Amino acid sequence: MTFTTLLSIDKLNTFYGRAHILHDVDLTVRAGEVRALLGRNGAGKSTMMKAIIGLVKPAGGSVRFAGKEITGHRSYRIASAGIGYVPEERRIFRDLSVMENLVVGTQAPRPDVPHWTPEKLFELFPNLGSMRDRPGGKMSGGEQQMLAIARTLMGNPSLLLLDEPSEGIAPKIIEEMAYAIQRVAQQGLTIIVSEQNLHFASLIATSATIIEKGAIRYVGTMTELKEHKGIQAEYLSV
């Protein structure tokens, strides 16, 4: 990567109507890093993801990607710049087959980032390879989540945003998905994963940021967080 810092967020503030959601949020993500954004339900994790990809317009602050200001840009421009976003709702095309979903997500290769093809993704997600002609609406929740990630990777992003990927997924599928994301990360892709599930996040992330009531409360390595039971109890326990 040309840039040591791939994503830089400075003093980000967002509102939903009169409700102040994110409060002066700062976040720095280095190229090749896998960072977990952790917090309870409603802490502001999804809002931060949406602010990065342009689905929520910031009321103040700055979002810079690969050295360029993207604050307030339209989502399609941000995606074209190299940010891939997998929303919590997945939003696959339910009437299209697995292969057709992948084709829809295709963008041109980018320099210095992995180039994904359907065959590479079928190696990464073997379940998808065995059902390439199956409509997305006739797949399990875990299979749909894998398809959503695979379709986003077909855009050859420099940065992958995963919003609550383990939500509502069977434990066996969670382990398979974690292994696949590990392999993606090993190829140098930068990843931010929003999660409530500390176990799942610890399988894939090396660094952690905790958000609570729209403000950053903790930044450190995943190893440090796993050893800090007090922080876990204060900000992550339900």
Q: Decide: 39 and 234 in contact? Cβ < 8 Å.
A: no
Q: How far apart are CA 138 and CA 115, in angstroms?
A: 28
Q: Answer whether 0.75 is exceeded by the pTM.
A: yes
**In the structure, what pLDDT confidence band is assigned to residue 183 with cuts at 50, 70 and 90?**
very high
Round to whole Å and give the CA distance between 81 and 70.
9
186's tokens: 């090993």
Report domain extents, the chain: 5-235
pLDDT for residue 40 is more than 70: yes
Model confidence over 43-59: pLDDT tens digits?
999 999 999 999 999 99
Name the CATH code of domain 5-235 (choices 3.30.930.10, 3.40.50.300, 3.40.50.10300, 1.10.10.410): 3.40.50.300
Q: What is the CA radius of gyration of the chain?
A: 17
- Residue range 16-36, pLDDT digits in tens: 999 999 999 999 999 999 999
Neighbour count for residue 162 (Cβ, 10 Å)? 28
18 burial via Cβ count (<10 Å: 0-12, 13-18, 19+): exposed
Place of tokens 């039971």: 229
Element (H, E) at 29: strand 19-30
Residues 6+ apart with CB under 8 A from 150: 101, 102, 105, 116, 121, 124, 125, 128
Helix, strand, coil shares, percent, the chain, to 5: 35, 30, 35
CA distance 121 to 81: 22
